[in-house]
Amino acid sequence: MFMNHLLDQNSWALQRLARFSGKSVRFEVAPFSFTCRILEDGSLLDQDAAEVTDARCVIPPSLLPRLAARDESAHAGISSEGDSELLAEIFYLSRNLRWDAAEDLSRITGDIAAERLVEGAQTAGQMLRDSAENLFKAGAEYLTEERPLLAKPGQLSAFMLQVDNLRDDMARLEQRINRLTASRKA
């Protein structure tokens, strides 16, 4: 099981999970689900899904890329129920476990090649994020400057201030009309 491999790479996590020995948790990522029991050493054992669990986490598949990218706001989209201490530990581990990909690759390619491959993948990922950010900025600039389909924040603020002033002026005008109407009737 990959989770046990990840826990072995982060031995501190095994110690933390060992406190929950004997408890089980079900993870549901549509259309898949799997259930694990925590063993005395903190490692995990596959368990029959039909058995009662102490905790349950339902993760929408759309959150997986954000969770992999370590987007903290993605954790809010996970629904969970059951043992709150166990769930808190699972969420803590999901934020702090790190996969040592270079270590695993080094068994196949050797240490130097593995390090270079991992560095290259990290560099490519950063370049992709930078490119996406630059594309977004260029698109926003195009839509606000070249083909003004979107309003700039300053323009929106000025428009909202004008609307507020117009509303206040209309309220004062309505009060004045009501006073004039009332004085004509009297």
- Predicted local confidence at residue 1, as pLDDT: 65
Q: Between the CA of residue 68 and those of 64, 72, 75, 153, what are the distances in Å?
A: 6, 10, 11, 32
Query: What pTM was estimated for this model as a whole?
Result: 0.58
Report the share of the chain in percent with pLDDT over 70: 98
7 plus 90 within the same structural domain: yes
Domain of 72 in residue numbering reads as: 2-96
> What whole-number distance in Å separates Cα of residue 60 and Cα of residue 31?
10
pLDDT means per 10 residues in the chain (186 residues)? 82 90 90 90 84 89 83 87 91 85 82 87 86 86 78 86 95 93 84
Q: Each residue of 66-118: pLDDT tens digit?
A: 887 778 888 888 999 999 999 999 889 888 888 777 887 888 888 888 888 88
128 plus 171 within the same structural domain: no
Q: Between the CA of residue 141 and those of 87, 133, 135, 157, 183, what are the distances in Å?
A: 43, 12, 10, 18, 56
Q: Between the CA of residue 177 and those of 102, 108, 167, 182, 185, what are the distances in Å?
A: 78, 86, 15, 8, 12
77 plus 59 within the same structural domain: yes
> What whole-number distance in Å separates Cα of residue 30 and Cα of residue 129?
27
- Predicted local confidence at residue 5, as pLDDT: 80
122 plus 175 within the same structural domain: no
24 plus 49 within the same structural domain: yes
What is the amino acid identity at position 89?
Answer: E
